[in-house]
Amino acid sequence: MICQLFLLLIGVSVVNSNGYMTLRFLSYINHDSRCQDGTYCDPFGLTYVGDKCDPQLRLIADRSVPGGNGLFDYQQLGVYWDTETINFGSRFGEISNPVIIAMNFQNHGHIYVTVLAVDKDPTPPDDPMDTFSAALVARADKVKRRVEMLSQPTNHKLSIEYWYSCHANYYGLDCNTFCQPQNDNVRGHYSCSSEGAKMCFTGWTGVDCTQPDPCNPSPCLNGATCSNVGGVASCTCPSGFTGSRCETDIDECKAVDSPCLNNATCENTIGSFRCKCSLGFTGERCETDVNECESETSVCLNHGTCKNTFGGFNCSCPPGLTGHRCELDVDECANGTSACANGGTCVNVFGNYTCQCDSGFTGPLCEEDIDECTESPCVNGGTCENRFGSFECICPSGFAGRVCDKDEDECLRSPCSNGGSCVNTIGNFSCLCSAGFTGSLCDEDIDECLMAPCFNESTCVNSIGNFTCQCPPGFEGRLCDKDVDECSKFPPKCRNGGNCTNTLGSFRCTCPTGLIGGHCEQDIDECKLAAPPCRNNGSCQNSFGGFSCRCGPAFRGRHCEIRAEASVGSTTGESSKLLVYILIGVGVLLIGAASVAVGIAFYRIRRSGRSNISGAENNKTVSDCAAVEQGLSNPAYMSTSEIGLQEN
């Protein structure tokens, strides 16, 4: 099967060749290898898709309608074999690309083109593929226009670029203006402008530049204007000249009315005059007032305000300056016009004055109070309070001075109580308190009793700045830490010949036989003891500190313990009594020595703690009873007793 592609370019027909169209083919794309009827190019069988298409192109251009007068017609002889895309490059088929289409007629603004493309087959007929047509603008504006066209219904695409250009000696956007330079007496003497207009050479004039120009060269002098009047030169003189050729100078200064105004001086010049203006005027005739206020350099100095007047000016000077141009200084400090406040000192400067402010003030006129507190002048934690023209530091306790920089000696106010010693420190003080007091000012009493200073179970009683210890019997001293030697006191603690032995916190009495009690003040009734002292039915008779036995006839002895013998004489009886008395004496000595040893041991025990005293006191009655019994059984016995913390 053969496919066919047509591209039709149709141009507006023009008469006579004025320009030409340049057409560059860029690319052709048959994206699906199909013909115009939708079938594939070169298939094999019913379903098999075969080779790609083999495009062959034909270009036709017309100036009126497609198929018209055959402005351009090119048929490609060769074939673009087996391709879907053609990038034309420098060739369109067998001819050069771009293609030049001559437009040898008057341009009416556009042309038409048509291009056909077929799929070339070995045997006819060839199969149409696409037909494209376009109207192209013929406008010599040096603009290249691009066109991309789609064929229907295949949507195959052809891309072209084109532009329109004028032939030589043709001008304008449509190339319809003809102009060919000439330089002879028949056709004229001219060149052509870019728009195709005739431009006469020097010395020629007229429509075709065929007539000689009498004003070229001009016979007129002094800048006069030459005019061609019927082929004759006519001179129009500028101001200041006269004569047929404007060759004569006019002296304007000799006129009745001087051309120079406002008392200016007139000076004649060739072809004119010059006015020397008075001060304050300007212009060719000094007719214009000079606005000195608009000069580049201000006539009023030092920022003075300029006001123009006719022929002059006035200056309004800023404060502090005077003079015609504000060039003089006003001494405000001398004339009393300064406004320095709050004791500020006036210092004159050119055009003004300054104020040297006292401490605490600022501002141009010293009218502003300085808030010194913003710079934190107070030290050591002082609080700054601003005052008008000054400040005040509220110092914390312990500091003084204008900025709280001085230590305050608080000790001068004797802040310490109860005899405390004051010690000054930086910004503070401390109190060294006397015994019994505490606190930052020694105004607090110390309760010494909380530290239990008293010994031996004494009672602590706190007082202002001190304490006392209430000692139990047997102790003395500030802290009840000293034992009382009761045995050295008068009257003696032990009565009836009792022997006193001091103990820790107390004393002990060693009583004679027959006595008992803490002070040996009680008589022992030996006759009432469970074991009566008189034996063998002897009759007991008690006495203070002793007893006596009345023996029966058959017995004798202190306790009636000796059986009497009838054969024994009086001598023998006396000897027996002497022996008994000796034995009793030895017993008493032994008992005394034992009592001393026991007392020493007991004293040592009492020194080790009061707890042993109470135990010994609780056993006192038992010891007394034992001693009595022992005394009754031993003729040499001497009773002892112990006193506790309380005296009887």
At 187-209, the pLDDT tens digits run: 889 999 888 888 998 888 888 88
Beta bridge partners of 44: 48
The candidate with the shortest Cα–Cα distance to 521, out of 491, 549, 489, 541, is 491
What pLDDT does residue 626 have? 34
Euclidean distance between CA atoms 223 and 218, whole angstroms: 10
> Is the CATH number of domain 19-178 2.60.210.10?
no
Is the pLDDT confidence value at 17 over 60? no
Q: What kind and span of H or E run contains 37?
A: none
The candidate with the shortest Cα–Cα distance to 476, out of 501, 506, 496, is 506
Number of residues written out for the chain:
648
Euclidean distance between CA atoms 65 and 50, whole angstroms: 38
Residue 648 CA from chain centroid, whole number = 90
Q: Residue 611 in 3-state DSSP? A: helix
With a CB cutoff of 8 Å and minimum separation 6, the contacts of 509 are 493, 494, 498, 499, 500, 501, 517, 518, 519, 520, 640, 641, 642, 643
Tokens of 454: 């008293």
Candidates 2.60.120.380, 3.40.50.620, 2.10.25.140, 3.40.50.300; CATH matching 182-212: 2.10.25.140
Q: Tens digit of pLDDT for each residue in 278-295?
A: 888 988 889 888 888 887
Euclidean distance between CA atoms 457 and 542, whole angstroms: 43
Residue 333 vs residue 105, higher pLDDT: 333
Euclidean distance between CA atoms 78 and 391, whole angstroms: 111
Is the pLDDT confidence value at 303 over 70? yes
What pLDDT does residue 549 have? 93
What pLDDT does residue 489 have? 81
The CB-side HSE value for 208 (13 A sphere, CA atoms) comes to 9
What pLDDT does residue 567 have? 39
With a CB cutoff of 8 Å and minimum separation 6, the contacts of 402 are 393
Is the pLDDT confidence value at 572 over 90? no
Amino acid symbol at 401: G
What pLDDT does residue 597 have? 62
What pLDDT does residue 389 have? 83
Q: Residue 146 in 3-state DSSP? A: strand
What pLDDT does residue 276 have? 93
Euclidean distance between CA atoms 607 and 510, whole angstroms: 19
Q: Are 360 and 382 in contact (CB under 8 A)?
A: no
Contacts of residues 347-352 at CB distance under 8 Å and 24 or more positions apart, as own/partner, are 350/320, 351/302, 351/318, 351/320, 351/321, 352/319, 352/320
Is the pLDDT confidence value at 105 over 70? yes
Euclidean distance between CA atoms 176 and 48, whole angstroms: 58
Is the pLDDT confidence value at 633 over 80? no
**Cα 83–Cα 86–Cα 90 angle in degrees, nearest 5:** 140
Residue 440 vs residue 231, higher pLDDT: 440
**Please, what is the angle between helix 570-607 and helix 610-618, to 10°?**
150
The CB-side HSE value for 261 (13 A sphere, CA atoms) comes to 11
**Range 252-289: architecture per CATH:** Ribbon (2.10)
Is the pLDDT confidence value at 388 over 80? yes
Residue 533 vs residue 66, higher pLDDT: 533
Is the pLDDT confidence value at 256 over 50? yes
Please, what is the average pLDDT of the chain? 80
Residue 552 CA from chain centroid, whole number = 127
Q: Residue 526 in 3-state DSSP? A: helix
Q: Residue 152 in 3-state DSSP? A: coil
**Range name among 73-82, 340-349, 631-640 with the lowest pLDDT average:** 631-640
What pLDDT does residue 460 have? 93
Residue 467 vs residue 567, higher pLDDT: 467
The candidate with the shortest Cα–Cα distance to 121, out of 167, 63, 189, 56, is 56
Confidence (pTM): 0.36
Number of Cβ atoms within 10 Å of the Cβ of 302: 19
User: Same fold for the domain at 410-445 and the one at 525-560?
Assistant: yes
**Range name among 6-10, 351-355, 524-528 with the lowest pLDDT average:** 6-10
Euclidean distance between CA atoms 156 and 33, whole angstroms: 10
Q: Are 100 and 115 in contact (CB under 8 A)?
A: no
Q: What kind and span of H or E run contains 145?
A: strand 145-150
Query: Mean per-residue pLDDT for 400-408?
Result: 86
> Quick one: 448-484 is in which CATH superfamily?
Laminin (2.10.25.10)
CATH class assigned to 410-445: mainly beta
**Range name among 214-223, 256-265, 386-395, 611-620 with the lowest pLDDT average:** 611-620
Question: Domain coordinates of the chain in residue numbers?
Answer: 19-178, 182-212, 252-289, 410-445, 448-484, 525-560
Query: Mean per-residue pLDDT for 493-497?
Result: 86
Tell me if the bond preceding 125 is cis, omega within 30° of 0: yes
What pLDDT does residue 392 have? 92
What pLDDT does residue 464 have? 85
Which letter does DSSP use for residue 242 in this model? E
Amino acid symbol at 339: A
**Cα 585–Cα 587–Cα 590 angle in degrees, nearest 5:** 115
Query: Mean per-residue pLDDT for 494-521?
Result: 87
525-560: what fold?
Answer: Laminin (2.10.25)
Residue 42 vs residue 375, higher pLDDT: 375
The candidate with the shortest Cα–Cα distance to 115, out of 142, 89, 139, 88, is 88
**Range name among 112-121, 586-595, 612-621 with the lowest pLDDT average:** 612-621
Q: Are 220 and 235 in contact (CB under 8 A)?
A: yes
Euclidean distance between CA atoms 13 and 64, whole angstroms: 5
Euclidean distance between CA atoms 26 and 611, whole angstroms: 135
Tokens of 129: 């593929």
